[in-house]
Structure 1
Amino acid sequence: MSKPVKGAERSPVGKAPTVVVAGGGTAGHIEPALALADAVLRLRPDAKVVALGTERGLENKLVPARGYPLELIPPVPLPRKLKPELLGLPFKVRDSVRRTREVLERVGADVVVGFGGYVALPAYLAARGRTPIVVHEANKAPGLANKVGARFATRVAVAVAGTPLPKAEVVGIPLRRSITSLDRAALRAEARKFFDLDPDAPTLLVFGGSQGAASINAAVSGAAKELADAGIGVLHAHGPKNTLVVQEFPGRPAYVPVPYLERMDLAYAAADVVVCRSGAMTAAEVSAVGLPAVFVPLPHGNGEQAVNAQPAVDAGAALMVTDADLSPGKIAELVVPLVVDAARVAAMSSAAVGLGHREADETLAKIVLEAAGA
């Protein structure tokens, strides 16, 4: 017989709940977790939210910056397929689960919310039979951690219909209110001044995820002359571990390279069109703010990034280019004419309206608080 779930006992209705979020590694895991955390505190200002992470993840920067406590646990290496040795809990898994369980007990966790990845798996295993679990899956093709967690979760939330997890409830992807409430037109002047961009030129935003993308960096920077000749300004986040040297063209709109975008809201407000990968979080944010996109899906994995981009492409809000086809010539041929076509940009922006679930953060927060018994 399994052990009774203790989370609900610790958080009877009216008691301030403690919510533990597990979404470390990349921004695609961390940002939905933090958007949920914000929504939980809007609904229950007395709640406590604690994030789990590892020493190697981007959460070490993002979580403290948003004001949430971060508890570090050993990472668990994730094979791409469920293997017998994982089920047998080898030493690394066993140690991480033990350490995670200590954290859950110390903070008095009433519910554990996992967003997949190597932080979520030990959280699920540590909470199993002790604390209610809520799983959120952003991709239509679930990762291993969420496949495991969903087997014994209290609730399973997914971004899109057809996600093959048991008890799946479609809620969308939690996004920051600074994104879902963004008035791009009202912030445009401030945003362009913030990044030292031309205040009036049509502007292209370029990024390849939190670590950058070498193929996107090479293709867009290689078309710098064509972009300058067309009068297009560029804001290009190349990734903190990459460098980008771009030729300057005096008298033309600035091409501004930056390692990382701390203010994505201002980056979106500054732009007319974006060239980017199509991770689930990115695709959701770009559609939410109504920004026309040229998506370049990551060519690795199980093809989920192309799946993420397809709804916006089908709606007429985005174009899709394969990584293999991306080149400076493709940027000149496809992107330059788009950015300078104001009517087409406006039509694509309008087509993005209605895509996604803008209230996903609070929808998921209500599920989480209910699971916590709060």
Structure 2
Amino acid sequence: MKVIVTGGGTGGHIYPALALVKEIKRFAPHSECLYIGTKKGLESDIVPRAGIPFKTITISGFKRKISVHNVKTVWKFIRGTRKARKLIEEFGADIVIGTGGYVAGPVVYAASKMGVPTIIHEQNSVPGLTNKFLSRFVDKVAVSFKESSTYFPSDKVSYTGNPRASEVSGEKRENPLGDIGLKEEKKTVVIVGGSRGARPINEAFLEALPAVGSKKWQYLYVTGSVHYDKVIEEVKKAGNPENVVIKPFIHDMPAVLSYADLMVTRAGATTLAEITALGLPSILIPSPYVTNNHQEKNARALSENGAAILRTEKELDAKILLKDIDEVLSNEETWKSMNRSSLKLAAPRAAEHIYHLMEELMTPQ
């Protein structure tokens, strides 16, 4: 079996694709996989590091208003489709799977026009332009949130969850907390705003620092590389409480989250897949700067089911942040209820479900 996977731009599109490749290899060890991305996207670094053959095309996204940029994008799409067709033919693909991002557009579109079976996976509760466009041409649409089903042709949709959950929910690894300066026996709050950080979360936590040192819990504060130096300066001014560890980035976040008790974070789809797979209670502060405000809609899928506390950027401050953390960690019944609710929303077999969709499409009728 020869499989092409495509998707890129952000980790939210890339990591589910990598999880799917891993599952394909588990079910079909002799299968061959090729990843098609762009040179400028994060995938150009992440995918080769994962040891997956990688090819590129050139493409950019559409603006939501009429512009010269969109005329250039149409031309890039046409050229990208031609190159994608060539790569599909040379590889001899049996199936093509897109996980979102602009690069998936020409690759999946070319495959559909060539009669190659196609699947797209949508991570968010509100789909992006690329997947909305592709849904008219593909054979199957796999979704992470049931709420997004209404945006696609109903006869094509399958609720699978996010493949990233399949990796996170595996065998528990050795406790990494001691290696990063935390105590294994203490309740742990992980605060993170993504790889580039989130200024409002940083500001609320810095404001809370004077009160944090007296708390029973410990805090792993992942600032994002952009904000790290400034945050370290502020932490030093506050006396650097001994129950706070500051890091710019954590490479193996799932391992850390396996031993955490609460997470404070944005509401990206991949992050939510990770925390629900682990049953981890969370305080979610959605980014308001994303397409169609989809992070808030992602977060509501958890908060309305009792798995998370949702706070908008406008209402977040130090007092509210500390109150929410205390409310979850000081009440065992509250924590257990959120834990159970989170696990109910998990999709630990998401990648396996997508693999079975692949088998269904490739089986002669």
**Both proteins in one fold, TM over 0.5:** yes
Aligned to 2:51: 67
The code of the aligned residue for 1:71 comes to K
Structure 1 Cα separation of the partners of residues 270 and 66 of structure 2? 25
Q: Structure 2 residue aligned with 1:205, among 190, 193, 213?
A: 190
Aligned to 2:235: 247
The code of the aligned residue for 2:329 comes to V
Look up the SS of the partner of 2:19 in the other structure: helix
Shift of 1:41: 1.0
For residues 226 and 92 of structure 1, do their structure 2 counterparts lie closer, same or farther at Cα, with a shift above 3 Å needed?
same
The code of the aligned residue for 2:152 comes to L
Mapped pair 1:335 → 2:319:
no
Unaligned runs of 5+ in 2: none
Q: Structure 1 residue aligned with 2:296, among 294, 303, 306?
A: 306
Mapped pair 1:34 → 2:18:
yes
Q: Structure 2 residue aligned with 1:315, among 296, 299, 305?
A: 305
Aligned to 1:169: 158
Mapped pair 1:277 → 2:266:
yes
Look up the SS of the partner of 1:152 in the other structure: coil
Conservation of the 8 A alpha-carbon contact between 1:198 and 1:253 = no
Look up the SS of the partner of 2:235 in the other structure: coil
Conservation of the 8 A alpha-carbon contact between 2:60 and 2:73 = no
For residues 320 and 251 of structure 1, do their structure 2 counterparts lie closer, same or farther at Cα, with a shift above 3 Å needed?
closer
For residues 252 and 209 of structure 1, do their structure 2 counterparts lie closer, same or farther at Cα, with a shift above 3 Å needed?
closer
For residues 359 and 263 of structure 1, do their structure 2 counterparts lie closer, same or farther at Cα, with a shift above 3 Å needed?
same
Question: What does 1:1-374 correspond to in 2, within 5 Å?
Answer: 17-80=1-64, 90-130=74-114, 131-162=116-147, 163=149, 164-166=151-153, 167-183=156-172, 187=174, 190-243=175-228, 244-245=231-232, 246-248=234-236, 252-300=241-289, 301-373=291-363
Shift of 1:280: 1.8
Shift of 1:99: 2.6
The code of the aligned residue for 1:18 comes to K
Structure 2 Cα separation of the partners of residues 92 and 118 of structure 1? 11
Aligned to 1:6: none
Shift of 1:209: 2.6
Conservation of the 8 A alpha-carbon contact between 1:232 and 1:340 = no
For residues 87 and 337 of structure 1, do their structure 2 counterparts lie closer, same or farther at Cα, with a shift above 3 Å needed?
same
For residues 25 and 195 of structure 1, do their structure 2 counterparts lie closer, same or farther at Cα, with a shift above 3 Å needed?
same
Look up the SS of the partner of 2:102 in the other structure: coil
Conservation of the 8 A alpha-carbon contact between 2:126 and 2:297 = no
Conservation of the 8 A alpha-carbon contact between 1:97 and 1:123 = yes
Structure 2 Cα separation of the partners of residues 350 and 127 of structure 1? 41
Conservation of the 8 A alpha-carbon contact between 2:282 and 2:309 = yes
The number of equivalent residue pairs is: 354
Structure 1 Cα separation of the partners of residues 81 and 48 of structure 2? 23
Structure 2 Cα separation of the partners of residues 257 and 65 of structure 1? 26
For residues 34 and 266 of structure 1, do their structure 2 counterparts lie closer, same or farther at Cα, with a shift above 3 Å needed?
same
Look up the SS of the partner of 1:206 in the other structure: strand
TM-score when scaled to structure 2? Answer: 0.88
Deviations 1:68-87 (A, max 9, x none): 12212213223347999969
Conservation of the 8 A alpha-carbon contact between 1:313 and 1:319 = yes
Deviations 1:46-83 (A, max 9, x none): 11111122222222332223221221221322334799
Structure 1 Cα separation of the partners of residues 271 and 66 of structure 2? 28
Look up the SS of the partner of 1:191 in the other structure: coil
Deviations 1:237-294 (A, max 9, x none): 2223332315257795442222222112222023110001112221122111011100
Conservation of the 8 A alpha-carbon contact between 1:51 and 1:63 = yes
Shift of 1:192: 0.8
Deviations 1:5-61 (A, max 9, x none): xxxxxxxxxxxx111111211111111111111111111111111112222222233
Conservation of the 8 A alpha-carbon contact between 1:81 and 1:144 = no
Deviations 1:310-342 (A, max 9, x none): 232233221010011122232223224433444
Structure 2 Cα separation of the partners of residues 52 and 231 of structure 1? 48
Shift of 1:142: 1.6
Conservation of the 8 A alpha-carbon contact between 1:80 and 1:144 = no
Unaligned runs of 5+ in 1: 1-16
Structure 1 Cα separation of the partners of residues 52 and 165 of structure 2? 15
- Give me the CA root mean square deviation: 2.6
The code of the aligned residue for 1:216 comes to I
Conservation of the 8 A alpha-carbon contact between 1:182 and 1:265 = no
Structure 1 Cα separation of the partners of residues 70 and 240 of structure 2? 59
Look up the SS of the partner of 1:270 in the other structure: coil
> Is 297-306 or 84-93 further displaced after alignment?
84-93
Shift of 1:343: 4.4
Q: Give the % identical residues.
A: 31
